[in-house]
Amino acid sequence: MRRRFLNPNQHTFTFLLHACTKGSFTSTPTPGVQVHCHVIKLGYARHVFVRNALIHFYFEGFSTTEYSKRVFEEDTDTDTDTLCSDVVTWNSMLAGLVRRGEVGVAEKMFDEMPCRDVVSWSTMIMGYVQNGNLEDGLECFRLMREKGIRPNEAILVTVLSASAQMGLLGCGRFIHSTIESLRFRITVPIGTALVDMYAKCGCIEESRALFDCMLKKDIWTWNVMICGLASHDRAKEALSLFHEFICEGFSPVNVTFVGVLNACSRAGFVSEGRHYFKLMVDRYGIQPEMEHYGCMVDLLARAGLIDEAVWLIETMTVAPDPVMWATLLDACKIHGLVEMGETIGNKLLKLDPTHDGHYVQLAGIYAKARKWKDVVRVRRLMVERVANKVAGWSLIEAEGKVHRFIAGDRDHDHSSDIYRMLEIIGLRITEAGYSPKQLTSRHLR
């Protein structure tokens, strides 16, 4: 085109830059830089569509955000009436920043935006959630609704996912009511997110009712329901749903078998667990991953088949993580296998010497066997090796607000009331005959 002395327009450069973000050009971004040179020479550098494409190109083609920022921050030519930026320009910067994990910078830019559309809010909410700032994502959604902005499907699925991960039922119900009040159609993504949210927030009946009412379901809808039933100890129902899933013509994936094997583990279905583990490999060609091995180890450990569990770990196709050995160590304590527990415990201390829980587990095995010198020795090792113990924390939702608690802290506004209630609970359960020594292996599971 240039050899024929034909002049490109803004659309030409938009398509060219889009092409430069695809395929092999992302690893060698030189063609895109050359296109940028033509953009400048031919006077299209301040055209809004071209600038947006340039910002996107530099985010995709370079490991730094510097070049995208330089394009974004170029001064507007006051001598022309050409629109230099629009909401899409700001949204392109937001999207690039959150993809790079620069949520703090994106948040500052979001606050400075002269105007925002639903894409701006969607980008910010997804940025928070995808980078682990779940509470900020939910708060951003609340602010958006206060401003009367109608969410899109992507926002609803994202905040439902955040509610599910945090177990915030009240927040999940608020989102569900928003879906109903705005008369959103229950699409497969929204329906699946609702099923997942209710299952993870403890409302398995509501989750199953929503699942049964969905006119269309994809493989992930079935997987969410199978895994949800398994996590609520409804093993027979989960396995029955798995067979219905197969009859519907779906082909299971690795997540499907995580739910199936988890159901077998929680119900103690040893023979069924072995069957499905073999079926997964032989019929469906799915190679076991850490989660599948973890379910099988837990299943065998609960049943007291420690030797078989050890054999499975030692023949794994992937390197076992410390959690599997910790599962076996706990089973050794339950079943009173002191010698094997000692062997596994020492292995764990070598694999993960800074994890305080392993020392506590091993000390508990020695205590059960009345080996008090070994209890003292392990406790001393823990003090010497575990320098910085990570404080445990939990959260609950009450009256529309999320309350976070850190182990041992007294910073909460109602701290004195909480500790007073803990004392009352302690007295009441003692009066009711509770004693830690009366815990059985069933309780410990």
Q: Is 402 helix (H, G, I), strand (E, B) or coil?
A: strand
Give the pLDDT confidence of 320-340 residue by residue, as tens digits: 888 888 888 888 888 888 888
- The whole-angstrom distance between residue 104's C-alpha and the CA centroid of its chain comes to 20
Say if CB 267 and CB 236 are below 8 A apart: yes
Task: Identify the pLDDT of residue 81.
Answer: 46
Which domain does 272 fall in, by range?
218-320
Rounded mean pLDDT, 382-402: 72
Q: Is 279 a domain residue?
A: yes
Higher pLDDT, 373 or 249: 249
Rounded mean pLDDT, 276-294: 95
Give the pLDDT confidence of 164-211 residue by residue, as tens digits: 999 899 999 999 999 999 999 999 999 999 999 999 999 999 999 999
DSSP 435: -
Q: Is 307 a domain residue?
A: yes
Say which amino acid occupies 45: A
Give the pLDDT confidence of 62-104 residue by residue, as tens digits: 777 888 888 888 754 444 444 567 888 898 889 889 988 899 9
Task: Identify the pLDDT of residue 444.
Answer: 35
**Number of H-type helices and E-type strands within the chain:** 24, 2
Phi, psi of 404 (to 5 degrees): -105, 135
Burial level of 237, CB count in 10 A (0-12/13-18/19+)?
middle
Give the pLDDT confidence of 165-175 residue by residue, as tens digits: 998 999 999 99
Give the pLDDT confidence of 7-24 residue by residue, as tens digits: 888 888 889 888 888 765
Q: Is 255 a domain residue?
A: yes
Tell me: pLDDT of 220 over 90: yes
Q: Which position has the token pair 């309780």?
A: 443
Please state, rounded to an integer, the average pLDDT across all residues of the chain.
87
pLDDT band at 438 (very low <50, low <70, confident <90, very high): very low
Say which amino acid occupies 213: C
Q: Is 55 a domain residue?
A: no
Higher pLDDT, 399 or 180: 180
Q: How far is it, in rounded angstroms, from Cα 214 to Cα 186?
A: 8
Task: Identify the pLDDT of residue 392.
Answer: 72
Q: Is 404 helix (H, G, I), strand (E, B) or coil?
A: strand
Task: Identify the pLDDT of residue 47.
Answer: 84
Say if CB 58 and CB 20 are below 8 A apart: no
Joined together, the tokens standing for residue 59 give 């985010």
Among 192, 244, 233, 228, CA closest to 213: 192
Dihedral of alpha carbons 425, 430, 436, 441, sign: negative
Cα dist. 416→302, 318, 410, 411, 430 in Å?
40, 49, 8, 10, 21
Q: How far is it, in rounded angstroms, from Cα 313 to Cα 310?
A: 5
Judged by phi (left if over 0) then psi (alpha if -120 to 50, else beta), residue 240 lies in: alpha
Q: Which position has the token pair 């823990």?
A: 382
Task: Identify the pLDDT of residue 400.
Answer: 64
Give the pLDDT confidence of 31-65 residue by residue, as tens digits: 888 889 988 888 888 788 888 888 888 888 777 78
- Radius of gyration of the chain, Cα coordinates, nearest whole angstrom: 28
Residue 48's CB is within 10 A of a number of other CB atoms, namely: 15
Q: Is 37 a domain residue?
A: no
CATH of the domain at 266: 1.25.40.10
List of long-range contacts for 134-141, beta carbons under 8 Å, 24+ apart:
134/162, 134/165, 134/166, 135/166, 135/402, 137/162, 138/162, 138/163, 138/166, 138/168, 138/171, 141/175
Domain count, the chain: 1
Rounded mean pLDDT, 431-439: 69
DSSP 392: P
Say if CB 29 and CB 62 are below 8 A apart: yes
pLDDT band at 274 (very low <50, low <70, confident <90, very high): very high
Give the pLDDT confidence of 113-129 residue by residue, as tens digits: 988 999 999 999 999 99
Rounded mean pLDDT, 258-284: 96
Q: Is 262 a domain residue?
A: yes
Q: How far is it, in rounded angstroms, from Cα 251 to Cα 219?
A: 8
Q: Is 229 a domain residue?
A: yes
Q: Can you name the residues that pair with 405 across neighbouring β-strands?
A: 394
Q: Count CA atoms within 13 Å of residue 324 on its CB side.
A: 22
Q: What is the pTM of this model?
A: 0.80
Q: Is 294 a domain residue?
A: yes
Q: How far is it, in rounded angstroms, from Cα 167 to Cα 416?
A: 26
